[in-house]
Amino acid sequence: MSGYRPPGSTIGVLGGGQLGRMLTIAARRMGYRVVSWIGAPDSGPAGLADSIIEEPFDCGDGLATFLDRAEVATVEFENIPKSLLERIVEKVPLMPDAAAVGICQHREREKCFLLEKGFPCAAFMVVDSAVQLDAALGKLPDNGGILKTAEFGYDGKGQVGVNRGSNAVEIWASFEAPRAVLEEKIVLAAELSVLVVRDQAGHTAVYDPVENIHRDHILDVSIVPARLDPAILAEAGKIALGIADALDYRGILAVEFFVSGDGRLLVNEMAPRPHNSGHHTIDACETSQFEQQLRVLCGLPIGSTRLHSPAVMLNLLGDVWVDNDGNPDWPAVLALPGAALHLYEKHEARRGRKMGHVTFTAATLPEALANQAEARRILGIPALL
């Protein structure tokens, strides 16, 4: 079997967050070892790994240790220096590869890739000065636009709303980025995401599209099956598979979409790793997104992506701990039917910080939605808008 690595092999993970933690849980269950290079002091989630490297990502000793221990490598967040990824792939198989991660970690490269390959996305302009921004602002539609950093943005960070009347000089002076992408502002009807898995031989499988609802630019809930037009969902799955093929991708890829008020299906961004909106796969699908990532890394067959239960995943931010004096009522939450609690063991709870999630599965989607609504009431999370 091409690229097969038997149980007992060591998986190298770049990053030390909850995604790496859940990949480690899948690896432990299947008999694999994990070395996590986290690039900073451990904040908690990486603690399950067999070994942890805390040296910065620009440290030669850290790289040498990682290459000595890892037999195959992956990323659990995309903001790893591309130069480091290129050095790793010279010695150890990396999935996804440096080229794919390099596109997904950089908005300008990502938007240009989508445009070049013919995938639908919001209209955009690249700017690198106040003069260019001023000219671009004048081309915005009546609805305005959003100025986003070209790289290293997530959860709504690194972006600001603008319109044709905005002061380009003031905005650019405060933006603190050498290059930016100015996108048309989309009037949203819905947001959704599609997870695709593609193995070393190019075989693919797709999960049911997920309906996502955000609060303050951070994912609040994921709902599956998505309550959207089946034709839109089918097209989203087709586009996501096409993107994976165009990237010659290896591993789990998340493709996030906007559904605009005028009916357009637009790719918002891609994540070259397991994704927050795929956490339901642990409890509601035959094979989780984390096991799929492990299967690809180890040259194992892709598992079934079948959804065996409707599910609602509720994100748990640090607000839950802060608002409940550090003692959320987990017994009450776990008394609800179909509740599965996942905590990431982060050392400190802060507002807006992802601390865990709880997934509700049920025989029907209305039941799962009702149970997550009750969990929100118990934990003091505002009701869904």
**Mean local confidence (pLDDT), 188-209:** 98
**Mean local confidence (pLDDT), 25-44:** 96
**Mean local confidence (pLDDT), 339-357:** 97
pLDDT tens track for 65-80 = 999 999 999 999 998 9
pLDDT bin (cut points 50, 70, 90) of residue 177 is confident
DSSP state of 340: E
Question: In sequence order, which ranges of the chain are alpha helices (DSSP H)?
Answer: 18-29, 60-69, 82-89, 98-104, 107-117, 130-137, 168-175, 230-246, 281-284, 289-297, 319-323, 330-334, 365-379
**Mean local confidence (pLDDT), 217-240:** 97
Q: What is the pTM of this model?
A: 0.95
pLDDT bin (cut points 50, 70, 90) of residue 129 is very high
Cα separation, 302 vs 199, in Å, equals: 7
259 pLDDT above the threshold of 50? yes
Instruction: List domains and CATH numbers for the chain.
Output: 10-94 (3.40.50.20), 123-184 (3.30.1490.20), 188-379 (3.30.470.20)
pLDDT at position 159 is 86
The mean of the pLDDT values for the chain is: 95
DSSP state of 324: T
Cβ 92 vs Cβ 150: under 8 Å: no
229 pLDDT above the threshold of 70? yes
Reported as type and span, the H/E element at residue 147 is strand 145-149
pLDDT tens track for 78-88 = 989 999 999 99
pLDDT at position 169 is 94
pLDDT bin (cut points 50, 70, 90) of residue 175 is confident
Contacts within 8 Å (CB) and 24+ apart, 78-82: 78/104, 78/105, 78/271, 78/272, 78/273, 79/105, 79/151, 79/152, 79/154, 80/14, 80/15, 80/105, 81/57
pLDDT at position 311 is 98
154 pLDDT above the threshold of 90? no
1 pLDDT above the threshold of 60? no
pLDDT at position 247 is 98
**Mean local confidence (pLDDT), 208-236:** 97
pLDDT at position 156 is 58
227 pLDDT above the threshold of 50? yes
pLDDT at position 153 is 59
Q: In percent, how much of the chain has pLDDT > 70?
A: 98
**Mean local confidence (pLDDT), 360-372:** 98
200 pLDDT above the threshold of 70? yes
Cα separation, 342 vs 316, in Å, equals: 9
152 pLDDT above the threshold of 90? no
Q: Is the peptide bond before 310 cis (omega within 30 degrees of 0)?
A: no
Cβ 240 vs Cβ 267: under 8 Å: no
**Mean local confidence (pLDDT), 297-320:** 98
